[in-house]
Amino acid sequence: MSQRFAGLSRLKTGGEGTMSTYDIRLFLRRVPLFYSLSESQIDMLAVGCAWRSFSRGRTIVAEGEPSQSLYILLSGRAKVQRSDSEGKEVILAVLGAGEFFGEMSLIDDEPRSASVITLESCDFLAIPKDNFLSVLNQSTEICLGVMRGLVKRLRSADRKIETLALLDVYGRVARVLLDSSELTEGNRIVRNRLPRQQIAKMVGASREMVSRVMKGLESEGFIAPMDEGQILLREKLSLYL
């Protein structure tokens, strides 16, 4: 669990939806997007704000549906995904603790642009649309925070377009592995479970193809499997980019 939201497990013993307004205010304060807000603006968000816990595989917002809330992810990871009429899916992003989602349809009043689905057990705060829009109206800092979030997503989408257009499948897989890794004591490691199927949906290839690529990368010493599904990435992996 993210350090930022430490203390959540203590509250969880109370069960879903039982977080007090005091605790909700405490967690809202720790969300980077809301750092600049005054006490009264935090109060405005906290009213009607609900805490929700979901197990793995639950759809939190569904592509094409109308929007009612902005969500803050307190713990766990969730994927942002789009699918076509035949059920083929592409993963646009993986979100982690402290990140927000559901802002796009609140801003332009269009249906949800994508689905957000939990990859593991997750805790969220759901802020009602009207409360969020009222605070947005009052705070330039929050507007800038949302814009920063949108710009970050645009940059990442640009990178993805470049990756899909210019790199072969080895390069695309290498980029997903590098983007999902952390530097720990000089070693670059993918810590979170990254199933082949998930990589396939991120790079627009079949699971079989991704399995072949991963085997190739392993046998040529670009990556090495570690305990608990973690993967060690060797420096030369970046040669694929």
* Binding residues for ligand CMP restricted to 45-64, rule: CB under 6 A: 61
Q: Interface mask (CB under 6 A) for ligand CMP, residues 111-150, using x and -?
A: -xxx-x----------------------------------
Closest to ligand CMP by CB, 99 vs 123, is 99
Q: Phi-psi bin for 224: left (phi > 0), alpha (psi -120 to 50), beta? A: beta
Could you say whether residue 153 binds ligand CMP (CB under 6 A)?
Answer: yes
CB of 160 to ligand CMP, least distance (A): 8
Q: Report how far residue 176's alpha carbon sits from residue 19's, in angstroms, rounded to the nearest whole number.
A: 36
Which of 60, 92, 174, 223 forms a contact with ligand CMP (CB under 6 A)? 92
CB–CB of 174/77 below 8 Å?
A: no
From candidates 53, 67, 75, 118, binder to ligand CMP by CB under 6 A: 67
Q: Determine if residue 92 is left, alpha or beta; phi over 0 gives left, psi from -120 to 50 gives alpha, anything else beta.
A: alpha
Q: Which of the stretches 40-48, 100-108, 173-181, 187-195 binds ligand CMP when contact is defined by CB under 6 A?
A: 100-108
Residues 6 or more apart whose Cβ sits within 8 Å of residue 14: none
Q: Do residues 24 and 96 lie in contact, with contact meaning Cβ atoms separated by under 8 Å?
A: no
What SS3 class is residue 105? Answer: helix
Phi, psi of 191, deg, nearest 5: -90, -45
Select from 108-116, 136-144, 169-177, 179-187 the region that touches ligand CMP (CB under 6 A).
108-116
Residue range at the interface with ligand CMP (CB under 6 A); choices 33-41, 43-51, 104-112, 137-145: 104-112
Q: Which residue has the tokens 């930022």?
A: 4
* Per-residue mark of binding to ligand CMP, 182-221 (x: CB under 6 A): ----------------------------------------
DSSP string over 117-169:
EESS-EEEEEEEHHHHHHHHHH-HHHHHHHHHHHHHHHHHHHHHHHHHHH--H
Q: CB of 100: closest distance to ligand CMP in angstroms? A: 7
Question: In the complex, which residues of this chain contact ligand CMP (CB under 6 A)?
Answer: 61, 67, 80, 92-93, 101-105, 112-114, 116, 153, 157
